[in-house]
Structure 1
Amino acid sequence: MKAVAVFPKGREVKVIDVPEPRLGSPTDVRVRTLEVGVCGTDKEVVQFKHGKPPKGEDYLIVGHECLGEVVEVGAQVKNLAPGDLVVPRVRRPCPSPDCLPCRTGATDFCVTGEYTERGIQGAHGFAAEYFVEDSQYLHKVPRELRGVAVLTEPLTIAEKALREVAHVQTRMPWQRQLPGKAVVLGAGPVGLLGAMALMRAGFQTTVYSRGAKPNAKAELSESLGAPYVSSKENPVDALVKQRGKADVVYEAAGVASAAFELLTALAPNGVFIFTGVPESEEETLDEGVLMKQVVMNNQVLIGTVNAAAVDFESALEDLGRFRAKWPGKVERLLTARHRPEDYAEVVTGKKRSDIKDVIVFTPE
């Protein structure tokens, strides 16, 4: 079967022919890949800054944002049947008996770093015509979400973040659960999906991104009801003057300097969520001023990575809600679909579209 793989030793990215996988246990499910989303993590894997092949192999099949269709199930699989649409989770637990998160199903909080992640770290991904997965890591997708369900995994980033915000804000029992203000840093797929999730949760949400208007991301953001403010035209103090300080900042840009500059826009008792994994930058901020701000305002900074089963279920529910609330808008996030042979050019930017690119293995 056809698969897209990286070869770290030779620093190659190419479409290869590999054996089609077969069921290996009674709980396995064989899935035909329909679509695989492309994101910043894929770029790091292709640039060989991140990622590792399975033990004993010289290549890694890429792809971790996936929508597929079940074609075969093991004898003990009761919750799925051929023809069902599914999305797989990405991370698998580490082997350490002392890692309580992994032993209790919270692999997104693994403390050893010895987990595997399909398409990223030590396990082949989903950018192949077929894959096999244990049924416990698959989530059934309503048929009506066929056109947008490839966005499930990137939406789980926001779902987990909102779950963590809810936990943190229980520290203020005197505060009524009224909608607050939120700012999303970045207008890529993760940012725009995060804006939708925050708005669904009741936050007055602003998208803050570098690109000057007009642009496709700004148009989509404002069509959702989230004002778009360009950081190129409006420094942070101007943003605060226009929109007020934010109770929640959702960082989805992966640029450290922009994130820490925006920290000054966080309201007292606010929560700042970091989701990006930036490269090192030359320090230009006053750490003392920022530390004083965080201490004096009882603020919380959260780093979040990966997501749990509950977040995948929430994401699927929210995709349905988003489509009902904003007809046609979720679909507009998916701005281009490509052949597997185009993967490298898409990831490196030569064929990248405005918002979200998807690799299609099984056309509708």
Structure 2
Amino acid sequence: MKAVVLFPKDRKVKVIDVPEPRLGSPTQVRVRTLEVGVCGTDREVARGEHGRAPEGEDYLIVGHECLGEVVEVGGAVKDLKPGDLVVPRVRRPCPSERCTPCREGHADFCVTGEYTERGIQGAHGFCAEFFVEDVRYLHRVPRELREVAVLTEPLTIAEKSLRQVKLIQQRVPFKGEQASHAVVLGAGPVGLLGAMALVRAGYQTTMYSHSRKPNKKAELSEALGVPYVSSEEHSVKELVKQRGQADVVYEAAGVASAAFKLLEGLAPNGVFVFTGVPPSEQLDVDEGALMKRVVLDNQVLLGTVNAAAEDFDAALEDLRHFQSKWPGPLESLITARHPPEDYAEVVDGDKKSGVKDIIVFPRG
């Protein structure tokens, strides 16, 4: 079958023929890949900054944001049948018996770092014509979400973040009458989906991103009813003056300098969520002033990565809501669909579109 692979040794991305996978146990499902999203993590993997091939192999099948169609199920699979649409989870638990999160079904909180991630870390991904997966890692997709379901995995970043923020906010035993304010840093796909999730959760939400208006991302943000403010035109102090302090900041830019500047706009008792994995960067930060502010204002700095089964379920439920409330903007997040042969140029940026690029596998 056709697959998009990375050869880590020379950092080359190619489309090659690989063996088509077959069922190996009664709980497995064979899936035809329909669409695979391309994101910043894929670019890091292609550049050799992150990830590794499976043990004993010289290439890695890339891709971790996936929508597929079931073509065959093992004898023990009861909840899926051929023709069902599915999205797979990405991370698989580590083997250590000492890792309670992995043993309890929360590999997203793995403590050993020995997990695998399909298309990223030690396991082949989904950017191939077919893949085989255990049924416990698959989520059935309602047919009406066919055109947007490939956005499920990037939305789970926000779902897990909001789940953790809700737990943290329980430490404050009161709520004011005024609605909570959230600021999203970065208007890429993760940021725009995060803005939708925050609005859905009841936050008055503002998008704070680098580029000046007019631009496609600003148009999408404002189509959601989320005001867009350019950091190139307005400082954090001006942002606070316009929109108020943020009870929650959802960082989706992966730029450390921008994130630490925005910390100045976090409200007392606020939660700042870091989701990006930026390159090393020397920052001009007053560590003492930062620590003093976090302590005296009871603030929380929260890092989050990957997602659990419940976050995928929440993402699919929210996509149904988004499709009903914002059908045009939601579908417009996907700004280009490409054949597998374009993957290298998309990940390098030569064919990158305005917001979200998708690789499509045509049915044979």
Amino acid in structure 2 at the alignment position of 1:6:
L
Once the two structures are superposed, what CA deviation does each residue of 1:260-291 show, in whole Å capped at 9, x if it has no partner?
Answer: 00000000000000000000112212111111
C-alpha separation between the residues in 2 aligned to 1:314 and 1:192?
A: 17
How many aligned positions are there?
Answer: 364
Aligned residue identity for 1:320: R
Q: Does 1:38 align with 2:3?
A: no
Provide the secondary structure at the position in 2 that maps to 1:86: strand
Residue 326 of structure 1: CA displacement?
Answer: 1.2
Residue 80 of structure 1 corresponds to which residue in structure 2?
80
Report the equivalent of 1:326.
326
Q: Which amino acid aligns with 1:359?
A: I
Structure 2 counterpart of 1:255: 255
Equivalences for 1:220-259 in 2 at 5 Å?
A: 220-259=220-259
Give per-residue Cα distances to partners, 1:210-235, cap 9 Å, x unaligned.
00000000011001100000000001
Structure 2 partner of 1:23: 23
Deviations along 1:5-33, one digit per CA (max 9) or x if unpaired, are 00111221100100110000000000000
Find the counterpart in structure 1 of residue 186 from structure 2: 186
Deviation at 1:178, TM superposition (A): 6.4
Aligned partner of 2:53 in structure 1 is 53
AA in 2 matched with 1:313: D
CA shift, 1:118, in A, is: 0.1
Cα distance change of structure 1 residues 227 and 154 upon mapping to structure 2, 3 Å threshold: same
Query: In structure 2, what is the Cα distance between the partners aligned to 1:334 and 1:320?
Result: 16
Q: Rate the CA distance shift 1:64–1:177 in 2: closer, same or farther, 3 A.
A: farther
Equivalence for 1:168: 168
State the alpha-carbon separation in 2 of the partners of residues 2 and 147 from structure 1: 23
1:125 maps onto 2:95 in alignment = no
Match of 1:274 in 2: 274
Aligned CA RMSD, in angstroms, stands at 1.1
Distance of 1:331 and 1:174 partners within structure 2: 38
Deviations along 1:119-147, one digit per CA (max 9) or x if unpaired, are 00000000000000000000000000000
* Offset, 1:176: 5.8
Q: Give the 3-state SS of the residue equivalent to 1:328 in structure 2.
A: helix
Output the CA distance in 2 between the equivalents of 1:177 and 1:37. 40
TM-score normalised over the length of structure 1: 0.99
Deviates more, 1:170-179 or 1:30-39: 170-179
- Aligned position for 1:356: 356
CA 1:359–1:177: 2 relative to 1, 3 Å: farther
Note the residue ranges of structure 2 that are not aligned, 5 or more in a row: none
Amino acid at match of 1:200: R
2:147 maps to what in 1? 147
State percent identity of aligned pairs: 74
1:343 maps to what in 2? 343
Task: Give the C-alpha shift of residue 363 in structure 1.
Answer: 6.0
The TM-score normalised by the length of structure 2 is 0.99
Cα distance in 1 for residues equivalent to 2:117 and 2:35: 18
Cα distance in structure 1, aligned partners of 2:164 and 2:214 = 34
Correspondence for 2:218: 218
How far apart in 2 are the matches of 1:176 and 1:92?
Answer: 41
Partner of 1:205: 205
Match of 2:7?
A: 7
Per the alignment, do residues 133 and 85 of structure 1 end up closer, same or farther by CA in structure 2, a change over 3 Å counting? same
d(CA) in 2 for partners of 1:32, 1:363: 8
Task: Give, as a single letter, the amino acid of the residue that structure 2 aligns with 1:239.
Answer: L
Q: Which moved more, 1:92-101 or 1:275-284?
A: 275-284
Cα distance in structure 1, aligned partners of 2:362 and 2:141: 17
Offset, 1:348: 1.0
Q: Distance in 2 between matches of 1:202 and 1:41?
A: 29
* Secondary structure, aligned partner of 1:55: coil
